[in-house]
Structure 1
């Protein structure tokens, strides 16, 4: 396809960011941008540093906090069916052994509204599993993957790690090690894998009304003044004077940022296997850079189409 001058400028910005990340030691950078029916993909670096296999645009990567949006869909579908009450405490649906210390009073709504998804998602997943009577993988397939035809999204355990997944690395005791060998991603089942294409397709389906009722989508988006709803972040969209919606994901070894316009006509998902660094509590500085770049890309979408 013939790219406009504006899009060539945008493409150059993404490729420059990618080259800078690789030069800093990032194993891989994968991007998918969409404008209407037009799609542009980019991949750089290695899928697996141990084998030297190049990364591809359709390689799965750890999704981090992006999986919160998917979990929110399953929780809100339970509420739509009258099986769950959002303002009820999570403890109303769980055995005492499943409730962490200090978590007895937390409501389902409060857990979904907590932007620190790492502390709450396993508890919410357990609620979903108990009320559905099946594992989270099966719930995810029924609520999201099958309706949208997504084939790469998978739970990190109990299933094997998907073939082709991009490996991330951290530094421990002065050595660079595969993050999946450290336990830093949490217990198996704490993370999802997926491609940037499937992440974009998920948000397109969600914002297009294919997954939850309109009233549930309103709850997910949150109020105009709120930065975070029930499973969705929001950022100002200067193209429409409305909002972008999506989620960031920042976990040891990986960062993902996915943004979509309200009509999902403009989308970008950026996934980075971070330059290896010691484990830290604070968000990676790269995560903030990814967020900024994603907004620049979609803002530029006001003045270009890919074709």
Structure 2
């Protein structure tokens, strides 16, 4: 039984997240022809400026779905082989045995065994994933640092491997998606950013979505508050930030409306072919950066909703900002939710994030948004 949208229920669920400690959040939920947009809280804690549902936002790893779709388009045109070793395309970046063992598919679904570059680019995060021994200093140090993609790739490729290529349990690593950017560049003869803009963002008719080239977010947007597990108190605004540190793995700016449009078209077979979409929905177990085992496809994550079937989409976080976008397999029910505070959980004595009221309030909002 499909649930119609209940605006009062959705508004209450959003207000509850704000009351639990989230400065501001905004969302769009769709059910067939019905559309609900809502917002709660503030975009700027200093001025009290409210958030609005049309704001542009940094959406983090949702970028990966756009990058994966672009690669799948090139697979369809015969320029890239999904199970071809990456060393055939990028022998200098992934040399010798590893280049022969790691396929394009393993990069997209995080089973390459390549390490995460971030603790090497951001030295205060060196202890990741041991959160208690990390610190936020590198975020301030690198606010305006312009990284080159190949320099970050080299950090990840030369770091100790986190698994064998194609092993039974993948490990989430942004290094994989920066390599996919280099691969797109190699086969298309244009920059990966230009290719994705033309063939994914513009093809989907997304008018407020872009891969940024400078540190500011253009257009109406919220400030983005990072708490780094209580080590930044009060949370600091990182909305102005050079996003070259994450590039095609996490730099996208979008709106909740554009995200729903994109995932709706993707699941309808309008961005990649139905056979490519089926490949994207083949999942493997992957250890996330939070240390949880998740199911991950080719840039897509599944979420089960009781009695409603499977939703597909992605979520992401950057410094201070986060988003989750999920669309039911039949395309009828959709939700996109954006928040302007990250890593609100404080750590216990063993370094594990402690439960926070925001966690339960957000989970309740997701439930209402997905199935009422």
Unaligned 5+ runs, structure 1: 301-307
Q: How does 1:224-243 map to 2 (within 5 A)?
A: 227-240=295-308, 242-243=309-310
In structure 1, the residue matched to 2:370 is 298
In structure 2, the residue matched to 1:204 is 264
In structure 2, the residue matched to 1:7 is 6
Unaligned 5+ runs, structure 2: 111-170, 286-293
TM-score, structure 1 length as denominator? 0.80
Q: Secondary structure at the match of 2:203?
A: helix
1:222 paired to 2:282: yes
In structure 2, the residue matched to 1:165 is 221
CA displacement at 1:60 relative to structure 2: 1.0
RMSD: 3.5
Q: Tell me which of 248, 251, 260 is aligned to 2:315.
A: 248
State which drifts further: 206-215 or 129-138: 129-138
Structure 1 distance, partners of 2:97, 2:232, is: 33
In structure 1, the residue matched to 2:201 is 145
State which drifts further: 168-177 or 34-43: 168-177
Q: Tell me which of 46, 51, 54 is aligned to 1:55.
A: 51
Q: How does 1:60-79 map to 2 (within 5 A)?
A: 60-79=56-75
Q: Which has the higher strand share?
A: 1
Structure 2 distance, partners of 1:112, 1:250, is: 18
CA displacement at 1:146 relative to structure 2: 1.7
CA displacement at 1:292 relative to structure 2: 5.7
Q: Tell me which of 11, 33, 38 is aligned to 1:42.
A: 38
Contact 2:11 2:38 in 1 (8 A): no
Structure 1 distance, partners of 2:277, 2:64, is: 14
Q: 1:181 to 1:192 in 2, by over 3 A?
A: same
TM-score, structure 2 length as denominator? 0.68
CA displacement at 1:17 relative to structure 2: 2.9
1:195 paired to 2:258: no
Contact 2:25 2:338 in 1 (8 A): yes
Structure 2 distance, partners of 1:235, 1:154, is: 26
CA displacement at 1:178 relative to structure 2: 2.3
Structure 1 distance, partners of 2:320, 2:326, is: 21
Structure 2 distance, partners of 1:5, 1:163, is: 32
How many pairs align? 292
Structure 1 distance, partners of 2:283, 2:226, is: 37
Q: Tell me which of 341, 365, 369 is aligned to 1:274.
A: 341
Q: 1:141 to 1:91 in 2, by over 3 A?
A: same
Structure 2 distance, partners of 1:120, 1:203, is: 22
